[in-house]
Amino acid sequence: MRYFPLFLLICVCCTLQTNAQSTKFGLQDFYTYNSELEYTVDSIYHTLSERQQVAQMIISSAGELGKPMATVKNLTEKDAIGGVVFLKGSKKTHTESIQALNAISSKNKTLPLLFSMDAEPSLFSSRIKGAKDVGKTIDIKTEAQSDAVVNTINTELREIGVHHNYAPVLDISASNEAIKSRSYGSDKDEVISLANQFIKCTQEGGIIATAKHFPGHGLVKGDTHKQSVYIDGPLQEVDNYKTIIADGVLSIMIAHITIQNNEKYGTDGLPSSCSRKIITGLLKEEMGFKGIIISDALNIMKAVTILDNAPLLASKAGCDLILMPQNEEKTINAIIAAMKKDPNYKKQVVQSVKKILRLKVCSGVI
């Protein structure tokens, strides 16, 4: 376990306190150059060992359907994860779990974790049992209705201690097996408008929003939880993300969708979450996305578990956050080994880690 040098901790804390008194960092600062923010991120980065830096990329799971809390606590003790997604449970159990994990980070003087949840409207009441039922995404038809839903979700997430919401869905079909009522519908313009409003309201409320599932999970047949799923031909849903990116969404989730019969964007049998052509080439370089890129879950979804070392492939493709790898410590070791062999990949990992630290600072995690 490596501890922060005291003088650097003092410098970082003084920087944060100064900002709290003047221009406190918020989510709105993530995309804006700020010399104090740059200094804060770099200061934190240089207190971390290489292993701790890479661990920032790893998001484990907890709660019902996730890993046992004893396992997650052990990973936190080892400083082997950067965050946790809570899959299902009561408000009380979620809150107590987050408090317990924060206590470990505090005791060990290590970086606090980034806590996240799939709190889409359609999934919200199942993620937090006993929470107010906000209805299904498909039933949201106006911006005012969307804002009311988001305000309810944001309030619950803040009270529990969750920073990052894996919502909204930009997929434009409500008939897909995996998406169903999680979609805003089949009218492209309506989907973009309502999703964008969801994102704006979420982030104005201090919660990180996530647009998903890039490059599009609506107009396909099948469910990536159960099998490989294909976009056959042109990418019909990619344009949905242009307005969302321009208006400042902070994170985008990549689907385990394989693309075939597309000369430019074919993924050669790999899911998009493991394709450098899709993540780095299309999303980062062509579409100019500078925010956090997160893979879809890597632990049980059949479209990706059939691959050898999918978490490393996802990182090499350009994902910043590796969601729910089957083995967190094995993933860290694989990334570090690959960094030693490839200087360009090492630079990419450094960029990913600094983006994650920046997000943690701007969201008030650290």
Q: Are 349 and 85 in contact (CB under 8 A)?
A: no
Strand partners, 145: none
User: What residues contact residue 217 under an 8 Å CB cut-off, 6+ apart?
Assistant: 171, 176, 178, 179, 224, 229, 237, 255, 257
Residue 271's closest CA among 301, 304, 296? Answer: 304
Distance CA 317, CA 112 (A): 27
Distance CA 230, CA 109 (A): 45
Residue 213's closest CA among 296, 146, 271? Answer: 296
Q: How many CB atoms lie within 10 A of CB 355?
A: 22
Provide φ and ψ at 266, rounded to 5°.
-60, 140
Q: Is 217 a catalytic residue?
A: no
Coarse DSSP helix, strand, coil percentages of the chain, rounded to the nearest 5 percent: 50, 15, 40
Residue 293's closest CA among 312, 280, 308, 307? Answer: 280
Q: Are 193 and 224 in contact (CB under 8 A)?
A: no
Q: Is 296 a catalytic residue?
A: yes
Catalytic residue among 79, 171, 296, 320: 296
The interaxial angle of helices 143-160 and 91-108, nearest 10 deg, is: 50
Residue 326 in tokens: 């089957």
Provide φ and ψ at 321, rounded to 5°.
-105, 130
Calculate the dihedral angle through the C-alpha atoms of 323, 104, 364, 84, rounding to the nearest 10 degrees. 20
Catalytic residue among 187, 225, 232, 320: 225
Catalytic (active-site) positions: 225, 296
